[in-house]
């Protein structure tokens, strides 16, 4: 590693993870609730029914309470790229910066400008302009997600760039390759639909509470219909986009897929573990069994990863130590090529300084031939390419399990509400309430799969996190970690208390 330092890297990772986890507690709800509010206001404008206006204003108030912390944590994330990951910022800024700038120009301003109109413009602008503003807030919020996920997609699957040894960074050569990368698109669709599901759960859960309390029944039932139909639609889409996402992971990040399934030895016709407890003693390369009490769905992993039930899915052992039969080379070969590239880069720099054009051209050729494995040159051993397996495995299974539950829940709630029978099913209403935190758990688990599952890479195959971080002492990052942890936690507690109180006050309590 370049700097001190596993400790520094771990603290920097922890701090970014902390910020991202908190950010992701607030943003997904914003993404979906903004559309639900827009749908309700549209119904108000079309029907002129004041009950729809009451419902719109009520959910809008909850939206605003949540929105503020999302914005604050988002700002921190943007600047943490610079403060904690300065080397990364330089290495990829030429590419990563562009989507961020587009996000600022095209999305943030739309969101923030019309946010004020949405909340304060009820009696100041026309009904039509107000409705347009509400939709523009929803579109702006979701456009922000698009651009940031394009940037994240590029980190998972870097395309559209070339390494420039003169500037020591990757430079963009195709904007459209970056934007339209299949990984970026599937990440965007899967992530925003997870946010929509959280919003659906939020609305049906709170509506369920009103129905249990027999309060604001009309608004609660109407909200239940909007929330459940929205939730059902998007949770079905979430499953589809999840399938596409897993397919992309299999193609572009096979190590992550193997960790997601706890697959050590590759298999043809590989199954998915429906349930299993990982054997904590299991090590790479040994013959111990991976699980205790596992239940497998045959062929499913081969199909999920390759859309072919006969496909071979490489395991961690294959990817680390190689598998000649299936044409998988050992990670050591990539490390060797990476070290060749890193050494050639140093030679190139020395040759340029010395004015030796021939040596520079030769070194440049070596760099170009080995650039795909450049990041491997900073790894010490083949096992370094494996992410934390248990965390990735359990997160993946929690996410999939909960995603399936949400589909059933929305289906049942929608059917029973439409049949006007929902108030008789009190246990289901309680389940709806308790499913609100489950939505957040599923979304955070998904984030862990995506981000922890790609470790040790800041940029897949090109830049390990140890090289990406700022040259700074672990004590500084540790200090700011605890400062952020304390502040974010205080804000989370404040938000939950305020939110609960507003829900208690309800639509009739006015806008406090």
Partner 1 sequence: MFEALTFLQLQQYWWIIISLLGGLFVYIMFIQGGQTLLNQLSDNETEKTMLVNSLGRKWELGFTTLVLFGGALFAAFPLFYATSFGGAYWVWMVILFCFIIQAVSYEYRKKPDNVLGQKTYEAFLYINGSLGVVLLGIAISTFFSGADFALDDNNFVHWQGASRGLEALLNPMNYLLGFALLFLVRIAAGMYFISSIDHAPIEAKARTMIKRNIVWFLPFFLGFVAWIFLKDGFAYDAATKAVSMVPNKYFWNFIEMPVVGIMFLAGVVMVLLSVFNTVFRGKSCCAWTNGVGIVLTVMAVLLAVGFNGTAFYPSTHDLQHSLTIENASGSLYTLTVMSYVSLMVPFVLAYIAYAWRQMDRVKITEEEITAPDAHNY
Q: In whole angstroms, how far apart are CA 475 and each of 20, 478, 483, 487?
A: 21, 5, 12, 18
User: Which has the closest alpha carbon to 484: 30, 89, 17?
Assistant: 17
Residue 186, token pair as written in the block: 């599937």
Indicate which single residue of 215, 265, 269, 349 sits in contact with partner 1 (rule: CB under 8 A): 349
Count other C-beta atoms under 10 Å from residue 69's C-beta: 20
Smallest separation, CB 132 to partner 1 (Å): 10
Contact yes or no for 363/344 (Cβ under 8 A): yes
Please tell me whether residue 8 binds partner 1 under the rule CB under 8 A: no
Site for partner 1 in 172-191 (CB under 8 A): 172-173, 175
Distance between CA atoms of residues 207 and 503, nearest Å? 10
Q: Which is nearer to partner 1, 367 or 449 (CB)?
A: 367
Distance between CA atoms of residues 346 and 336, nearest Å? 16
Indicate which single residue of 24, 44, 114, 135 sits in contact with partner 1 (rule: CB under 8 A): 114
Which range binds partner 1 by CB under 8 A, 107-115, 331-339, 361-369, 379-387? Answer: 107-115
Diameter of the chain by CA atoms? 84
Interacting residues of 368 by C-beta distance below 8 A, sequence separation 6+: 163
Q: Round the CA-based radius of gyration of the chain to a whole number and report it.
A: 25
Indicate which single residue of 115, 210, 374, 393 sits in contact with partner 1 (rule: CB under 8 A): 115
Site for partner 1 in 56-75 (CB under 8 A): 57, 61, 64-65, 67-69, 71-75
Distance between CA atoms of residues 104 and 98, nearest Å? 10
Q: Which is nearer to partner 1, 457 or 484 (CB)?
A: 484
Contact yes or no for 276/394 (Cβ under 8 A): no
Please tell me whether residue 457 binds partner 1 under the rule CB under 8 A: no
Q: Which is nearer to partner 1, 110 or 226 (CB)?
A: 110
Site for partner 1 in 208-227 (CB under 8 A): none
Please tell me whether residue 15 binds partner 1 under the rule CB under 8 A: no
Q: Which is nearer to partner 1, 423 or 502 (CB)?
A: 502
User: Which has the closest alpha carbon to 43: 127, 113, 114?
Assistant: 127
Please tell me whether residue 196 binds partner 1 under the rule CB under 8 A: no
Indicate which single residue of 85, 210, 312, 393 sits in contact with partner 1 (rule: CB under 8 A): 85
Per-position x/- string for 472-511, each x denoting binding to partner 1 as judged by CB under 8 A, each - no binding: xx--x---x--x---x--xx-xxx-xx-xxx--x----xx
Please tell me whether residue 90 binds partner 1 under the rule CB under 8 A: yes
For the range 348-353, what are the long-range contacts, defined as Cβ-Cβ under 8 Å and sequence gap of 24 or more? 348/165, 349/165, 352/166
Please tell me whether residue 354 binds partner 1 under the rule CB under 8 A: no
CA angle 159, 10, 67 (to 5 degrees): 70
Please tell me whether residue 97 binds partner 1 under the rule CB under 8 A: yes
Q: Which is nearer to partner 1, 269 or 339 (CB)?
A: 339
Element (DSSP H or E) covering residue 410 = helix 389-418
Smallest separation, CB 101 to partner 1 (Å): 4
Which range binds partner 1 by CB under 8 A, 105-113, 284-292, 446-454, 456-464? Answer: 105-113
Q: Which is nearer to partner 1, 43 or 117 (CB)?
A: 117
Contact yes or no for 292/277 (Cβ under 8 A): yes
Site for partner 1 in 384-413 (CB under 8 A): none
Please tell me whether residue 263 binds partner 1 under the rule CB under 8 A: no
Indicate which single residue of 4, 46, 47, 105 sits in contact with partner 1 (rule: CB under 8 A): 105
Interacting residues of 184 by C-beta distance below 8 A, sequence separation 6+: 149, 150, 152, 153, 154, 157, 178
Smallest separation, CB 411 to partner 1 (Å): 35
Q: Which is nearer to partner 1, 42 or 83 (CB)?
A: 83
Please tell me whether residue 117 binds partner 1 under the rule CB under 8 A: yes
Site for partner 1 in 288-347 (CB under 8 A): 346
Smallest separation, CB 153 to partner 1 (Å): 17
**410: alpha, beta or left, given left = phi > 0 and alpha = psi -120 to 50?**
alpha
Smallest separation, CB 273 to partner 1 (Å): 41
Smallest separation, CB 495 to partner 1 (Å): 8
Phi first, then psi, for residue 74 (nearest 5°) are -65, -40
User: Which has the closest alpha carbon to 250: 239, 260, 236?
Assistant: 260
Q: Which is nearer to partner 1, 329 or 471 (CB)?
A: 471
What 3-state class would DSSP assign to 463? Answer: strand
Which range binds partner 1 by CB under 8 A, 165-173, 293-301, 382-390, 397-405? Answer: 165-173
Interacting residues of 229 by C-beta distance below 8 A, sequence separation 6+: 410, 414
Distance between CA atoms of residues 334 and 183, nearest Å? 23
Please tell me whether residue 125 binds partner 1 under the rule CB under 8 A: yes
Please tell me whether residue 112 binds partner 1 under the rule CB under 8 A: yes
Q: Which is nearer to partner 1, 89 or 235 (CB)?
A: 89
Q: Which is nearer to partner 1, 75 or 361 (CB)?
A: 75
How many chain residues bind partner 1 (CB under 8 A)?
Answer: 88
Smallest separation, CB 199 to partner 1 (Å): 18
Indicate which single residue of 8, 30, 133, 193 sits in contact with partner 1 (rule: CB under 8 A): 133
Distance between CA atoms of residues 8 and 408, nearest Å? 44
């Amino acid at each position: 590693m370049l700097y001190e330092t596993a400790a520094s890297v771990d603290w920097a990772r922890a701090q970014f993870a902390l910020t991202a986890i908190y950010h992701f507690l607030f943003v997904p709800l914003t993404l979906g609730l903004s559309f639900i509010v827009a749908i309700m206001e549209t119904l108000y404008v079309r029907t002129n029914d004041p009950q729809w206006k009451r419902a719109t204003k009520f959910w809008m108030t909850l939206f605003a309470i949540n929105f503020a912390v999302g914005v604050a944590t988002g700002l921190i994330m943007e600047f943490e790229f610079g403060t904690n990951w300065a080397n990364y910022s330089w290495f990829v800024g030429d590419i990563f910066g562009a989507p961020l700038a587009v996000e600022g120009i095209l999305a943030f301003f739309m969101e923030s400008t019309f946010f004020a109109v949405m909340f304060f413009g009820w009696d100041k602008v026309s009904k039509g302009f107000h409705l347009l503003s509400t939709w523009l807030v929803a579109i702006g919020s979701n456009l922000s997600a698009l651009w940031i996920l394009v940037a994240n997609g590029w980190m998972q699957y870097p395309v559209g760039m070339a390494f420039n040894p003169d500037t020591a960074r990757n430079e963009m050569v195709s904007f459209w390759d970056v934007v339209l990368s299949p990984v970026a698109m599937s990440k965007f669709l899967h992530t925003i639909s997870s946010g929509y599901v959280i919003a659906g759960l939020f609305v049906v859960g709170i509506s369920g509470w009103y129905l249990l309390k027999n309060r604001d029944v009309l608004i609660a039932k109407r909200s239940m219909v909007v929330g459940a139909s929205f939730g059902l639609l998007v949770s079905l889409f979430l499953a589809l986009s999840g399938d596409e996402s897993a397919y992309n992971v299999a193609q572009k990040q096979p190590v992550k897929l193997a960790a997601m399934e706890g697959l050590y030895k590759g298999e043809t016709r590989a199954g998915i573990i429906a349930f299993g407890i990982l054997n904590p003693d299991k090590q790479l390369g040994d013959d111990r069994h991976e699980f205790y009490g596992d239940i497998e769905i045959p062929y499913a992993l081969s199909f999920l990863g390759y859309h072919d039930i006969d496909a071979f899915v490489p395991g961690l052992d294959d990817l680390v130590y190689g598998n000649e039969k299936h044409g998988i080379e050992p990670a050591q070969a990539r490390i060797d090529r990476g070290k060749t590239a890193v050494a050639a880069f140093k030679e190139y720099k020395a040759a340029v300084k010395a004015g030796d054009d021939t040596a520079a051209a030769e070194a440049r050729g070596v760099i170009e031939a080995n650039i795909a494995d450049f990041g491997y040159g900073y790894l010490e051993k083949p096992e370094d390419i494996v992410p934390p397996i248990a965390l990735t495995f359990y997160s993946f299974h929690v996410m999939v399990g909960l995603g399936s539950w949400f589909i059933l829940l929305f289906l049942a709630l929608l059917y029973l509400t439409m049949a006007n029978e929902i108030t008789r099913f009190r246990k289901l209403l309680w389940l709806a309430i308790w499913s609100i935190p489950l939505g957040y758990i599923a979304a955070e688990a998904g984030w862990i799969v995506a981000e922890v599952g790609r470790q040790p890479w800041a940029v897949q195959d090109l830049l390990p996190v140890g090289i990406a971080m700022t040259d700074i002492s672990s004590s500084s990052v540790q200090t700011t970690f605890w400062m952020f942890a304390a502040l974010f936690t205080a804000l989370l507690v404040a938000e939950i208390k305020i939110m609960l109180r507003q829900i208690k006050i309800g639509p009739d309590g006015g806008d406090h």
